[in-house]
Amino acid sequence: MNKIKIIKNTEKYVKNKMLGDSAGHDWWHVYRVWKVAVHIGKQEKANMFVVELGALLHDIADFKFNNGDETAGSRVSREWLEEQKVDEAIIKHVCDIVENVSFKGAKVKSKMKTTEGMVVQDADRLDAIGAIGIARTFAYGGAKELEMYNPEIRAVRHKSFEEYKNTRGTSINHFYEKLLLLKDLIIMVGKSWTRNLVQ
């Protein structure tokens, strides 16, 4: 199994599939998550092959763009990795990351169990905060035809993924329902090098 070749093939595959998306989940989002995940993963002595594949594939078929199908990402990832002749144990690990990386509601605990998964999840969450996160929120809201602001629609602290997935709020509410909560959910936040990224 030529890991370098598989990473390069996966980079090309994801870039071809996602380049030009205008809803905030484009190739350049994936690229930033990938690069930050590599940085964090090395610090955490993670399995970098899993980290890189997980980061590259984490949004390959996001449920938000696949009629709410939360298995689409892991299914597409598995098909791709099998085509690349990746070992089954690695495929399972990467698919678990892809399936569990997304934020699923304010009161829903993450199912991420491995260092590699936590690394990719942290990298993804870091890209959702700050100036880029603000821009991505409004890009997504526009793509989904969400109101930007409506004082009659209250922000919700979702208690389940189903509730989070099926709520059609406003772009401003998204800050209170997700983005402003992420800083405290970043698992590696206690590490001084990660804290510097968050500040």
Tokens of 94: 């990467």
On the CB side of 67, CA atoms within 13 Å amount to 0
The residues spanned by each domain of the chain are 3-192
Predicted TM-score (pTM) of this structure: 0.85
**What CATH number does the domain located at 3-192 have?**
1.10.3210.50
Closest CA to 13 of 84, 88, 98, 87: 84
Instruction: Show the beta-strand stretches assigned E in 1-109.
Output: none
Nearest-angstrom CA–CA distance, 16 and 153: 38
Residue pair 105/163 in contact (Cβ under 8 Å)? The answer is: yes
pLDDT by position in tens, the chain (length 199): 799 999 999 999 999 999 988 777 899 999 999 999 999 999 999 999 999 999 999 999 776 666 667 788 899 999 999 999 999 999 999 999 999 988 766 666 778 889 999 999 999 999 999 898 899 889 988 888 889 999 999 988 888 777 776 778 899 998 898 888 888 888 764 454 444 554 4
Residue pair 148/97 in contact (Cβ under 8 Å)? The answer is: no
* Amino acid (one-letter) located at 144: K
Distance (Å) of CA 63 to CA 46, 72, 99, 103: 27, 7, 9, 11
